Amino acid sequence: MAKSRFEYVRTYEQDAILLPNTYIVIRLDGRGFHRFSTHYNFRKPNDKRALCLMNAAAKQVMRHIPDVAGAYGQSDEYSFVLSRECTMFDRREAKLVSTFASTFTAQYQFLWPEYFPDTPLDGNMLPSFDGRAVLYPSLREVRDYFSWRQADCHINNLYNTSFWTLVLTGGSSEHDAEQALMGTNSGEKNELLFSRFGINYNNEEIMYRKGTMLIRDVGAGGSASASETTESKDVGEKSKRQVEREKNKRRKAEIVELHVDVIGDEFWTDAGRWIS
């Protein structure tokens, strides 16, 4: 039973460490959610219960993992951004990504009955999520990351809204709806919705159009730590006590749910209050 004779296998473990002082974005994606949403009869083009469940699960993740500064979700995906000082798991990539995937899954499943009270989960069709981590050296890129996801939300939602309106209201077959939309730009889809169905896309529910941003609001005076500029001075200098104090602040901070434009400047003018 000499354990030591076998322990050499540990030398094959290679922990990828995420570069210090960079923002970590962890994006989770529903696995096979096309089949999943069909199985549980999600409403088209958007199922409010499903989106709210995603948001609720993400909030729970933020409550349990104080290193998360903010998160953005749309459709079956959620992205969590960790502050650049984050040292959770010594920034080991596999542990971080797997923990987020596992924790989110657990919360999603636990909260399911609250959002789908009449639809029990089926053991052969449980929700699961895969994940990945991406590093961004500056706040500018984090901002552009969220803009990228929100632009993606817009494009997909406008398409899906047009498609399902054609099918469900217009009576088109799915194939005909696809043909009708092929090659159309945003303006043409807006026009189609309005002229044929009297739908002003901009009046559609804002959560569908903009997705959901969750921030941990540490308050006006507070600031998650400091401004971009100041903070870069702090590298390697911030005391452990200070880090601990900020962590506590984040832990206690209210998690705010927003459905706003994150592409323009406004949302980011006061970003220092939630991300550092």
Q: Token pair 């590298």 is at which residue?
A: 235
Contact pick of 55, 60, 83, 276 for a copy of itself (by CB under 8 A): 60
| Binders of a copy of itself in range 136-195 (CB under 8 A) | 136-141, 144-145, 147-148, 151-152, 154-155, 186
Beta carbons of 44 and 101 less than 8 angstroms apart: no
213 beta partners: 72, 258
The verdict on whether residue 29 carries a ligand-binding annotation is: yes
- Residue 127, interface with a copy of itself (CB under 8 A)? yes
Residue 66 CB, nearest approach to a copy of itself (Å): 15
Pick from 260, 165, 167, 168: nearest CA to 214 = 260
Distances (CA, A) of 119 to 36, 77, 116, 124: 13, 22, 5, 14
| Binders of a copy of itself in range 233-262 (CB under 8 A) | 233, 235-236
The verdict on whether residue 130 carries a ligand-binding annotation is: no
Distances (CA, A) of 254 to 8, 36, 123, 250, 273: 47, 32, 35, 8, 12
- Residue 107, interface with a copy of itself (CB under 8 A)? yes
The verdict on whether residue 118 carries a ligand-binding annotation is: no
The verdict on whether residue 75 carries a ligand-binding annotation is: yes
The verdict on whether residue 250 carries a ligand-binding annotation is: no
- Residue 89, interface with a copy of itself (CB under 8 A)? yes
- Residue 133, interface with a copy of itself (CB under 8 A)? yes
Strands 23-30, 77-82: pairing kind? antiparallel
- Residue 227, interface with a copy of itself (CB under 8 A)? no
> What CA–CA distance (Å, rounded) separates 17 from 253?
28
- Residue 202, interface with a copy of itself (CB under 8 A)? no
Contact pick of 37, 47, 49, 103 for a copy of itself (by CB under 8 A): 103
